[in-house]
Structure 1
Amino acid sequence: MAAASGVSRATVSFVLNDDPHQTISAATRDRVKEAARTLGYVPHGVARALREGTSRVVVLNIDADLEGRYSRSYIDGLDAELAAHGFVLLVRHGHHTQAATQQVLDAIAPRAVIRFGETYLTGRGLDDMGGGWRDGLAAHAALQLRYLVDRGHTRIALALSERESPLASTRTKFAGLAAKDLGIPQLDCVIVPTERSACAEAVAELLACEPAVTAFAGFNDDVALRVMTALHDLGRHVPNDVAVIGFDDNGYGEYCSPALTTVFVDAEAHGRLSARLALGLGEGGLRPPPARVIVRESV
């Protein structure tokens, strides 16, 4: 390929590996890529892994209960950005122990292992496109509460999944900070089980203890839909008696009655950012679009 394109072997290597630290003209890159196509060049994965010390695989660990619209768009962005730089994405679903992750490291020597949503959860000082107040989980938790407050609700319950997770604890913290910033009382929290009668009992107990609550902010749409079903079973009308807002728009909320108002987050840019940071490429000016409330009938 070097001879066919009239460049050095090193230049061919830089182009084929898309080395971000090398300045190579577009014309030279095009010549090398054209030579590769003409000669039918296909990279040898095992040989490349031996030379580079890692494979061209990036692993994403994601817990099953975090799957939703956010995770789907995040994975789409992550996969697209990795593919653009010649890497392959391997997604591992479920609970991930340190021992299981080590088995993956030993078996395929991935270039990186990404914990799903890490930049979204934590950020850098809560001030950027990570878990911050601009484009991250803190901002989106505040958006959900602000929508309720703007419609007159000041006593709000945060409805959570029965499964504990880093995302749930972080979300609860951000929601509490947002409530303080909005000048409303601290949120009442309720765990809503998946079993229907148990869910209704949990919601009924919360409303009996805190009768001033007029709205529920769901951890996600699944939880919000459980709350709506529980309120129906308890003879409470949504939104006239109690309002409900979801989070992450799983696509099912528009088919219930009343249709579920929810927060929509496009996470493709978060996925692309995670890919670039894992590959050491920097942020590249990526900026996710603002989250928005999808207004339906439940608030």
Structure 2
Amino acid sequence: MAQEPNASASITSADVARLAGVSRATVSFVLNNTQAHRVSDTTRDRVLAAAQQLGYVPHAAARSLRAGRSNLVLIPASVSVVGGLVSSWLDDLHSELERHGYIAVLHAGRYSDAAAGARAWAELRPAAVLALDGDRLTAGAVDVLRRAGVPALLAFASQPVAGVHTFAFDHARIGEVAAKHLVMRGRERIGVVLPGERGLDVFAQPRLAGAQRVASQSTATVTAVPMNYTRESAAELAERWPSLGLDAVFAYNDEYATLLMHAFQDRGIAVPEEVAVVGADDLVPSALQRPPLTTVRLELPSPAQVADTIDALLKGTDVPEVPPTDAVLVARQSS
């Protein structure tokens, strides 16, 4: 009978092989889910049981050297992830990537320029990089990643990025949809919330520009109103709202809109009679607010579509066609 190794020793694939009664190559095939080598279900179960019993964890760096690349999909998190929609979408993407045998890694960091960030990402030698704020990618950053041998580069961006598989996502369209609705409802002095949280300006500024574009084609005006995602900041904005002379607000997303709408109500500012409020993302709680929150629903590519695209790019197979993100107004009583 195979003997278990000393508990104080570092567990290796050789230990798993001895306990399971198989070769190290078979352990590698099973734990790396190698499709080119057939392993019986009985043997696979025995290897997995041995690995679990021993608490064996494969060495990612060694596996990367053997395979020529890692199984990491790096998602730069240089922006503040404020929003239930993004958080939920990323959680589902993790699961979809795992289905293909990849591990999603959020990489936080503050860098002076895109190329500096790219150098930090490249150090991990990921299989793919997926940039949520692709409009920030520069030719220099793409060159750094390509020279480092990163096989697949993907981004959500308003315009195609050279050398990068781009998912079309124009944040200006969100601002346009929100402002058009408010103008059609007779609102002429529209505030647009600019979040104070780090990195969100890359999304907020295009939304502001989209609202300004709509206003320029009418008699309406647009005013940028800074606000942090805190009760204190929302209360401060609500307190000075009467002095701003605004009769509507596009509040960046549903979280900011809900926070601000409650602050308005605490100050006795009636929604929508005195100020119409519009959010974005169409989160479940939005319809439960009092009054229910008007919002802009984002029809994003599904996490499964994005994961399938990453897998196809890495395997060199046909890349699925993914429709661009659309923005659709969901009108409710807050506006």
Tell me, yes or no, whether TM beats 0.5: yes
Equivalent residue in structure 1 for 2:74, among 47, 59, 65: 59
Checking the alignment, whether the CA contact within 8 Å between 2:295 and 2:331 is kept in structure 1 is yes
For each residue in 1:228-252, what CA deviation from the matched residue of structure 2 results, as whole angstroms up to 9, or x when unmatched?
A: 1232233210011111011123433
Equivalent residue in structure 2 for 1:192, among 204, 227, 231: 227
Match of 1:28 in 2: none
Match of 2:180 in 1: 146
Match of 1:285 in 2: 321
Once residues 72 and 209 of structure 2 are traced to their aligned partners in structure 1, the CA distance between those partners, rounded to angstroms, is 34
Q: Per the alignment, in what secondary structure is the counterpart of residue 104 of structure 2?
A: strand
**Mean Cα deviation higher: 62-71 or 237-246:** 62-71
Once residues 232 and 72 of structure 2 are traced to their aligned partners in structure 1, the CA distance between those partners, rounded to angstroms, is 45
Q: Per the alignment, in what secondary structure is the counterpart of residue 89 of structure 1?
A: strand
Q: Per-residue deviation at 1:184?
A: 4.5
Instruction: Report the CA distance shift for 1:277/1:123 in structure 2 as closer, same or farther (over 3 A).
Output: farther
Match of 1:4 in 2: none
Equivalent residue in structure 2 for 1:70, among 85, 90, 104: 85
Q: How does 1:140-289 map to 2 (within 5 A)?
A: 140-165=174-199, 166-180=202-216, 182-196=217-231, 198-209=233-244, 211=245, 213-269=246-302, 272-273=305-306, 276=309, 279=313, 283-287=319-323
Once residues 44 and 193 of structure 1 are traced to their aligned partners in structure 2, the CA distance between those partners, rounded to angstroms, is 42
Percent identity, aligned pairs only?
24
Q: Per-residue deviation at 1:159?
A: 1.5
Once residues 98 and 230 of structure 2 are traced to their aligned partners in structure 1, the CA distance between those partners, rounded to angstroms, is 41
Instruction: Report the CA distance shift for 1:129/1:113 in structure 2 as closer, same or farther (over 3 A).
Output: closer
Matched, 1:116 2:132: yes
Once residues 127 and 110 of structure 2 are traced to their aligned partners in structure 1, the CA distance between those partners, rounded to angstroms, is 18
Q: Which has the higher contact order (CA 8 A, sep 6+)?
A: 1
Checking the alignment, whether the CA contact within 8 Å between 1:82 and 1:89 is kept in structure 2 is yes
Q: Per the alignment, in what secondary structure is the counterpart of residue 270 of structure 2?
A: coil
Once residues 34 and 110 of structure 2 are traced to their aligned partners in structure 1, the CA distance between those partners, rounded to angstroms, is 31
Q: Per the alignment, in what secondary structure is the counterpart of residue 265 of structure 1?
A: strand
Checking the alignment, whether the CA contact within 8 Å between 1:69 and 1:249 is kept in structure 2 is no
Once residues 62 and 184 of structure 1 are traced to their aligned partners in structure 2, the CA distance between those partners, rounded to angstroms, is 39
Match of 2:168 in 1: 130
**Equivalent residue letter for 2:212:** G
Q: Per the alignment, in what secondary structure is the counterpart of residue 285 of structure 1?
A: coil
Higher Cα Rg, which structure: 2
Match of 1:89 in 2: 104
How many residues are aligned here? 260
Instruction: Report the CA distance shift for 1:66/1:198 in structure 2 as closer, same or farther (over 3 A).
Output: closer
> Which structure 1 residue ranges, 5 or more long, are not aligned?
1-11, 19-31
> Which structure 2 residue ranges, 5 or more long, are not aligned?
1-28, 49-57, 135-154
TM-score, normalized by length of structure 2?
0.63
